[in-house]
Amino acid sequence: MGKNGSVERRTVLKAAGASLAAAGLAATTGCGGDDGGSGDGTVEIRFAWWGAEERAKRINRSVKLFEKKYPKIKVKTDFQDYVAFWEKFQTQAAGGNPPDVFQNAVAFLRKYDKRSVLLDLKSQVEAGNLDLKNFRSGVEKVGEVDGKLLGVPVGSNTMSLVIDEKVFRKAGVEPEQGWTWDEYFAALKKIHDTQKVAGDTGYFGIMYLYDLYLRQNGKAFFTEDGLGFEETDLTEWWQDGYNRVKAGIVTDPKKVEQLKPKSPLASGDGASEFTWDNFTVRYTTEGDSTYGLAPIPTTDGKETGQYLGSLMLSGFARTEHPKEVAQFISFMVHDPEVGRIMGYDRGILATTEQFEAYKPTDAPNQAIARYEEEVAEAGLLGTITPHPAGADTVEAAFLRIAGDMSTGKTKVSDAVKQFFSEAKTALAA
């Protein structure tokens, strides 16, 4: 759920778990410890996010609109890439000086709520400063934790399967809603045998995909306070993945590393890839084929385990300006012009005002919107799995250890034990 493509998750999550506590990083100086106010009644709030330059341009345009509507509120902006953002935020939070409002994600809600960093926005809803009406598909629930409103979604996304349509068509494979994992893996083998290309780029290392698989089988990756599966479950998943790598059905992990930051799907070294649906625009930009969104494979021919995830905006619990923070968040998620400016940069727009204001003209974004509508209409969407404090570190470990396992650096059994050990430590911190 970050910038354009799963490349972000591959390249940054390896570093994220270990780097969050990195020392020597300077805290943002913005307010300098005062209340950010001035003699004429104007106040300043600090707003920070992660993302690329394009996202920064869009957000800064949106901020100017907000300041025009609220001339007594000035917004000081700051952004970095994903890893740098959370490194800086960790330092700021420890020093009691994080931004007044900031971009957030579900993996960090309980972590920073536990540290009393996040503002419960429910009081601002009750005061009329924050509007929670007109959210699509109940996506506003993503930011609710233990009865608190800790974040307000700016967009929605869900896990999807991106396919190289030309390769699938040549192999005679037609994905259909409700197809099973056995049918999916049979399709990958057929693609490998007939088109001489790996069918998948590395499904076994994606934590959020494994969560869907577990949900299909009555479990989940996380419970509210720990892991929701056993070592035997992960052993089966990773052993299966390792076997398919060795059979050539999944792209050679060493090739995947060599291609970074380009996706092996875009380079023609794989025919399908699981990722968040709003990341799919990248493949058209990077690759020479045509790419489409296919249904998630199932265990029972029906349930996919899917849910809506989201980037969101959160406030600092001890901000001097909770009203202004709430007004800013409300404007950023409801204003139609902001919707037209942001487009699907942070996912399918979360509110009906913005969703209806932005009409994508390019095929990839039209396909993303259509995919989410079809998933919702099919009644497949469930409630997002709770993420305990430490989930971000667990995700980083899952990706890193799965990579070591797939290249043969670590035996499957040892990789599973290592993951559970690291996860237990992270979740107990």
In the chain, domain spans: 7-157+309-358, 159-306+386-428
In sequence order, what are the beta bridge partners of 116?
none
With cut-offs at 50, 70 and 90, classify the pLDDT of residue 58. Answer: very high
Tens digits of residue pLDDT in 184-243: 999 999 999 999 999 999 999 999 999 999 999 999 999 988 999 999 999 999 999 999
Check if the beta carbon of residue 335 is closer than 8 Å to that of residue 139. no
pLDDT at position 385, please? 78
Q: List C-alpha distances in Å: 63 to 28, 31, 247, 323, 348.
A: 19, 18, 51, 17, 20
With cut-offs at 50, 70 and 90, classify the pLDDT of residue 26. Answer: very low
Instruction: List, as one string, the DSSP characters of 91-154.
Output: HHHHTT---SEEEEEGGGHHHHHHTT-B--THHHHHTTSS---SBGGGGGGGGEETTEE--EES
Domains 7-157+309-358 and 159-306+386-428 in one fold: yes
Check if the beta carbon of residue 132 is closer than 8 Å to that of residue 289. no
Type of residue at 400: R
Higher pLDDT, 383 or 420: 420
Tokens 């540290």, located at residue: 115
Instruction: Please compute the mean of the pLDDT values over residues 348-363 and round it to a whole number.
Output: 94
Instruction: Please give the CATH topology (third level) of the domain spanning 7-157+309-358.
Output: D-Maltodextrin-Binding Protein; domain 2 (3.40.190)
pLDDT at position 37, please? 64
Decide if domain 159-306+386-428 falls under CATH 3.40.190.10: yes
Alpha helices in 158-230 (DSSP H): 165-171, 181-195, 207-216
